[in-house]
Amino acid sequence: MDAILVVNAGSSSVKFQVFAANGSHDLQRLIKGQIEGIGTQPRLYATGSGRAKLVDCAYSTKVVPDVSAAMRAAGAWLREQGNINLVAIGHRVVHGGPEYDCPVVIDDQVIKKLERYVPLAPLHQPNNLAPIRSVYAQSPELLQVACFDTAFHRGHSAVVDHYAIPERYYAEGVRRYGFHGLSYEYIASRLPEVMPSVANGRVIVAHLGSGASMCAIAAGRSVESSLGFTALDGLPMGTRPGQLDPGIVLYLIDQKGMSSAEVQTLFYHECGLKGLSGVSNDVRELEQSDSPRAKFALDYFVYRVGIYAGMLAAALGGIDAFVFTAGIGENSSGIRARVAEKLGWLGVELDPIANAAHAQTISCKASRVGVYVVATDEELMIARHTLALLTDRTLQKVKRAGVG
């Protein structure tokens, strides 16, 4: 069976899914799994259709010390499944820089270009590239596709993309990119099904998870995002601070004597909900905690979501719908209720029963703005892009064979 493997590699885990590629538009999810605890307590877990358990296997750190080894372990297990013939691999790559506004087939030049953006996404880019290099070294003939979290936002106007700094820096690539684009692209593709009456209207999507951002979408296209040059901007996140006065960076370096590496570690690993609460970076734990600092962290998070909703509403000139997605947005009825209360001035009225039941539509009938909960599916989006490029390459081969 011809299949597409989708890989989403992080620092301590590699998530993967396998889709049967039965035609130019037909994708069937076969396997969903991950190797977690890389470098500490590696464990491979995967389920099949109907969430049936397929494997639950622990490894030693000698066998799986890093992301590349995790990919080899996952690949070995997939080959044992027998009837799966991998014809392509699609990868989530967080930063595509100014060059890439759509998915691209990976080769030596692409890898070299993407390595330049490691400093802009140090939590993600190195781990995204590790499995790409590993597969490319072992099976260079296998089609690999890079799908970028920045690509969906590349249609922004120059006014949106610029910072108020000399133009030469913009020319070098210092600009507002926006992230979580694969999630927003998937949600945009679902809008005609979920909310057909406003699918071509003005929609704010809140991707609220350990990494959090918001996006203003008009007629299915991104027009503004809370994230900018790196994944540190905008909303507070699990361990990242969100929007900061740049003077804080200067203060930490000049007055506190911190190195750039120390500042980077602080901003990527010690701030956000973790830094504010002193308890956890996990909203589930914070909601259950009786710590005043945990409560304050959640108050701050909700407040900033409300602030950015106002900013994005201004960019759109008003809104017709608001969508919650990702881990917090899909699962925390409490956070949704608190955010909706902040959006009352925009005409949002929540249905508390629907919200508690995690219904798809959680606004009441009297609400001037529809409020929805839509589960994101970045992996399916990657599989779609990979299938499209695989189909295009197959057609090109057929045409060349016909000419010959």
Task: Give the burial string for 266-293 (b: 16+ CB within 10 Å, else e).
Answer: bbbeebbbbbbbebbbbbeebeebeeee
Output the pLDDT for position 266. 97
User: Is the Cβ–Cβ distance between 123 and 61 less than 8 Å?
Assistant: no
Global pTM exceeds 0.85: yes
Active-site annotation holds for 290? no
Q: Distance between CA atoms of 215 and 221, rounded to whole angstroms?
A: 10
Candidates 26, 66, 149, 320; catalytic one: 149
Q: What would the mean pLDDT of 385-397 be, rounded to a whole number?
A: 81
DSSP 152-206: GGTT--HHHH--SS-HHHHHTT-S-----HHHHHHHHHHHHHH-TTTTTSEEEEE
How do residues 60-87 score in pLDDT, each as one tens digit? 989 988 888 888 888 889 888 868 888 9
Question: Tokens standing for 288?
Answer: 């259950």
- Of 327, 339, 323, the residue nearest 285 (C-alpha): 327
**How much of the chain, in percent, has pLDDT values that exceed 70?**
96
User: Is the Cβ–Cβ distance between 146 and 113 less than 8 Å?
Assistant: no
Alpha helices in 317-377, H assignment, sequence order: 326-331, 333-342, 352-356
How do residues 90-108 score in pLDDT, each as one tens digit? 999 999 999 899 999 999 9
Q: Distance between CA atoms of 203 and 190, rounded to whole angstroms?
A: 12
Does the pLDDT value for residue 404 go beyond 60?
no
> What integer best gives the mean pLDDT of the chain?
92
Output the pLDDT for position 400. 61
Pairing between β-strand 2-9 and β-strand 85-93 as defined by DSSP bridges: parallel
Q: What would the mean pLDDT of 210-215 be, rounded to a whole number?
A: 95
Mean pLDDT is lowest, of 101-105, 138-142, 335-339, for 138-142
* Category of 182 on φ-ψ map: left (φ > 0), alpha (ψ -120 to 50) or beta: alpha
Run of H or E residues at 70: helix 67-80
The helix/strand/coil state of 63 is: coil
